[in-house]
Structure 1
């Protein structure tokens, strides 16, 4: 099965071609391994496993429709993605090279004979192809097509880009960041986030299969109940009854079961489509990568995610129509989007399970100064003295007098606008630009309304400034078009360093530093050119940050050993005996 990521607001239009081109190799390989899968994994020796940072190689396939400008652009996008995974993911070291073999296709994409027999000295080879599909709005699709018998890890895969969606005239720092997010999404599918492999996930510490039941709930959502996903779900939603991550149940065969459910994970990077605004790479995706069994994680930071956080079991098990929470809203009302990143209109899409949520309306992202806007939208922001920038948020406004008559009937309904802000001691201060040289800065206390004589409206302050101030993921100028932003820190392309890739660097990178050589306690990875910290078998972890557990020299996210049924039954009997003794005493 090959996975499509749609990058077209929230409207889905799937290409049917890949359904007909699904490569059967993976299913056939797994079928052959099925009866002997335990024997295959038992051939691994826990004592002899040597972990190393993953090396990904992109093998471009020729296409006469691809000009050099597009080729250079996609090369840059993939290079940054490769560095990101090399910085965070480790695999079991193997000595032999990779050879694709005599199969002539990978995911329905023709593989030239020269590449079939070529020896690759990396850990994952991804064939990169291009098609100009004018009938569909998908941005790219991907998937693995060959795994190793050694540990069932994908070693060959494909990413196909739709040339229709690559518009070089619109390239800017914001679209570069979105395209890297698309690339990261597709590579994660190629790394093993695909339904056919779910039953072959196993514990990297014990090499034991999870033997997942892959049950579905009453709404036909598949529940992926791997241990780390189960534990992070319980902790995040504050619900002990949840059995794992809830998977998408809509969007057709290319989306359902292969992504996190939009209703519960909103704009998480591994949901089935990319919404307006930036996605978040959360702990759910990092936990899932750990649960594959093929990989171990180096020390990392995930994006802050607040959608549904701490909302309890009702959020997961009750209908959204029964809930009164910020995540859901009344159909068609204009409002600030969830997290106040833009002006939105409450509505549904093909992944929303008939739930209405506040997503950013096209052209009204408070952070994207490069977006296309209608003249009416431009007028609205101008009349409300709005500022669109990476340091802006959406605020509710109310007019002191009659609404501005020059706006259309549609936009006159909007009582929100975008303003720059900054946080001081977890309190928001709004910055109103009066002209090119002058601005006014106002303290905006929680849930209060502020006003001043220079403007014709009041501004309503958010209910929880501390949450907004402490959960920002943005990087300055989107990493200056040279990196991938996660939780306010960039993974930079070769030749640059700094938190925001602002400095040239010919050496190794660590945090914001450029180093001639790495510190003794770190590993100098010549493939990513990053100094890797706490990398298990290379340099052992001695302690972990809050929320992580030290397991086999790695800092594991939200992991605890799942008790077997027999141990649960045994413990239950012991507890009953103790209770009876207490009563008798």
Structure 2
């Protein structure tokens, strides 16, 4: 079991869970000749609440059921009949008699516990895998603690989907049992690798579908694996992506993210386990680092105080900028830290200056303003300046930067971000500024606007005309198709929020919750 020690990953501040053993069971249930074709069916996940979980509120009543329904749509398993739990304990708690040594008509049982009087957070891990079904997990524990009142709808949904992923595939102890195309186990050396990159020792996953999708997403044909979070610990077996590379993906360790992405990269691990068929229509392409090449994965984010990719920044927090998705106005999170930044993450001459987020290796990037949503779906109403900048907030609006200021304004020309409606005609983006329109070159560049001094910077059409993930993942009430929510029966609205339990739109809370 030496590989467990080598695999353990944890990010600073993550909730630790004890290193409980993973139980392997076998009953040899197959009788008669083998089934000619696998019978793939939607996965059935059964939750069981162990203790007084009533204080979990909507985590229990809404978001755990939504997460279970999410995986029911996304994942299929080979049906082998009932499962049979042989383990008497699961991550330190007793398995209820209801499920112990009993045939149960489900595919996975999740034991859910809650501690109201502890630091807010959550963790999850698998407890038992069945040898009869290719070592697929059939039992796990999901633990919540503290209060989740400050979290938004989007964050709660991602929290529960994230935790279930740890039981289904994202746990280091499961990696040696991942299956190849003919049912052979890969072995740990075929799944996990180690190297030195960006002045740090890192570990990475290197499974086939992951490499295929990530190479296309980052446009890096030499990619041989994707980095896991870069701080080691012997206190957790949970696997997370390195946030500096996968910033707002649902499988990073930090929940202080917004516009959460359910990427095809993260979905690929379920397929690569060999246990699941995956419906990728419920996933989306990454935005962060999209088509930035191998350099984005290898090189420092900032060199000689200059940012190397436009996902990052190096300016004062007082200057308005656009975030990486170009859907929010925000500010660079660069600041003075309370202690020297670790040497490998020092990008500026002052060892105290860097990004405020340790999960991104202290790389500074634009964090949204609570009033900065160009689509006007923020927790606060979007503030726009129609007089000086000709701004607008709408579903098709995006964020652009420049020095442009109305010739009727009392302001002088200065750098700022602004929200503007974008319409795309083929690969040409049309930007609406006040009552004027400008046409952007597909490759991007500076344009001037009639009636405005200064200039506006057009990103490339790949940015302005690219379909984006649907906000709030369509509230779990629809599927995102070409950037638009296709609502299920009984739901309607731009984001499928009508006809459901939703009470208003919100996207980010100014809290930091780390998920393990």
Same fold (TM over 0.5): yes
Match of 2:114 in 1: 130
Distance 1:131 1:263, change over 3 A: same
1:178 positional shift: 3.5
Tell me the secondary structure at the aligned position of residue 281 of structure 2: coil
Q: Give me the whole-angstrom Cα distance separating, in 2, the residues matched to 1:66 and 1:445.
A: 52
1:399 positional shift: 5.6
Distance 1:108 1:396, change over 3 A: farther
Tell me the secondary structure at the aligned position of residue 258 of structure 1: coil
Distance 1:86 1:118, change over 3 A: same
Match of 1:159 in 2: 142
Check whether the contact 1:238–1:312 (CA below 8 A) recurs between aligned residues. yes
Check whether the contact 1:320–1:328 (CA below 8 A) recurs between aligned residues. yes
1:249 positional shift: 0.5
1:64 positional shift: 6.1
Q: Give me the whole-angstrom Cα distance separating, in 2, the residues matched to 1:314 and 1:115.
A: 50
Match of 1:396 in 2: 401
Match of 1:469 in 2: 465
After TM superposition, list the pairs within 5 Å mapping 1:402-413 onto structure 2.
none
Distance 1:332 1:121, change over 3 A: farther
Match of 2:364 in 1: 356
1:303 positional shift: 0.9
Deviating more after overlay: 247-256 vs 305-314: 247-256
Q: Give the counterpart of 1:217 among 162, 184, 195.
A: 195
Tell me the secondary structure at the aligned position of residue 284 of structure 1: helix
CA RMSD of aligned residues (A): 4.3
Check whether the contact 1:23–1:145 (CA below 8 A) recurs between aligned residues. no
After TM superposition, list the pairs within 5 Å mapping 1:120-199 onto structure 2.
120-133=104-117, 135-136=119-120, 138=121, 140-150=122-132, 151-167=134-150, 175-199=152-176
1:293 positional shift: 1.3
1:63 positional shift: 1.7
Tell me the secondary structure at the aligned position of residue 236 of structure 1: helix
Check whether the contact 2:8–2:238 (CA below 8 A) recurs between aligned residues. no
1:244 positional shift: 1.3
Q: Give me the whole-angstrom Cα distance separating, in 1, the residues matched to 2:359 and 2:405.
A: 39
1:265 positional shift: 1.9
Q: Give me the whole-angstrom Cα distance separating, in 2, the residues matched to 1:273 and 1:192.
A: 18
Q: Give me the whole-angstrom Cα distance separating, in 2, the residues matched to 1:502 and 1:320.
A: 38
Q: 1:321-353, CA deviations, whole angstroms, 9 ceiling, x for partnerless residues?
A: 347322333254542111212123333211112
Q: Give the counterpart of 1:329 among 297, 301, 313.
A: 313
Match of 1:53 in 2: 42
Check whether the contact 2:436–2:449 (CA below 8 A) recurs between aligned residues. no
Match of 1:482 in 2: 477
Tell me the secondary structure at the aligned position of residue 340 of structure 1: coil
| Equivalent residue pairs, number | 456
After TM superposition, list the pairs within 5 Å mapping 1:196-211 onto structure 2.
196-203=173-180, 205-211=181-187
Q: 1:139-162, CA deviations, whole angstroms, 9 ceiling, x for partnerless residues?
A: x32222221122111111233334
Match of 1:264 in 2: 245
Tell me the secondary structure at the aligned position of residue 479 of structure 1: helix
Check whether the contact 1:98–1:119 (CA below 8 A) recurs between aligned residues. yes
Check whether the contact 2:322–2:400 (CA below 8 A) recurs between aligned residues. yes
Q: Give me the whole-angstrom Cα distance separating, in 2, the residues matched to 1:295 and 1:481.
A: 21
Q: Give me the whole-angstrom Cα distance separating, in 1, the residues matched to 2:144 and 2:495.
A: 27
Q: Give me the whole-angstrom Cα distance separating, in 2, the residues matched to 1:79 and 1:190.
A: 16
Check whether the contact 1:80–1:491 (CA below 8 A) recurs between aligned residues. no
- In structure 2, runs of 5+ residues without a counterpart are 335-354, 501-516
Match of 1:563 in 2: none
Match of 2:377 in 1: 369
Q: 1:553-585, CA deviations, whole angstroms, 9 ceiling, x for partnerless residues?
A: xxxxxxxxxxxxxxxxxxxxxxxxxxxxxxxxx
Tell me the secondary structure at the aligned position of residue 265 of structure 1: coil
Tell me the secondary structure at the aligned position of residue 285 of structure 1: helix
Q: Give me the whole-angstrom Cα distance separating, in 2, the residues matched to 1:498 and 1:365.
A: 19
Q: Give me the whole-angstrom Cα distance separating, in 2, the residues matched to 1:44 and 1:313.
A: 49
Q: Give me the whole-angstrom Cα distance separating, in 1, the residues matched to 2:194 and 2:246.
A: 18
Deviating more after overlay: 153-162 vs 417-426: 417-426
Check whether the contact 2:372–2:383 (CA below 8 A) recurs between aligned residues. no
Q: Give me the whole-angstrom Cα distance separating, in 1, the residues matched to 2:245 and 2:79.
A: 37
1:264 positional shift: 1.8
Check whether the contact 1:302–1:487 (CA below 8 A) recurs between aligned residues. no
Q: Give me the whole-angstrom Cα distance separating, in 2, the residues matched to 1:296 and 1:289.
A: 8
Q: Give me the whole-angstrom Cα distance separating, in 2, the residues matched to 1:361 and 1:208.
A: 50
After TM superposition, list the pairs within 5 Å mapping 1:574-585 onto structure 2.
none
Structure ID, larger Rg: 1
Q: Give me the whole-angstrom Cα distance separating, in 1, the residues matched to 2:431 and 2:10.
A: 36
Question: Within the alignment, does 1:85 sit opposite 2:86 as a pair?
Answer: no
Q: 1:245-303, CA deviations, whole angstroms, 9 ceiling, x for partnerless residues?
A: 11110386678971111122222221222344212122211221111111122463531
Q: Give me the whole-angstrom Cα distance separating, in 2, the residues matched to 1:86 and 1:194.
A: 20
Tell me the secondary structure at the aligned position of residue 273 of structure 1: coil
Check whether the contact 1:255–1:272 (CA below 8 A) recurs between aligned residues. no
Distance 1:235 1:13, change over 3 A: same
Tell me the secondary structure at the aligned position of residue 360 of structure 2: coil
Tell me the secondary structure at the aligned position of residue 300 of structure 1: helix
Superposition TM-score, scaled by structure 2 size: 0.73
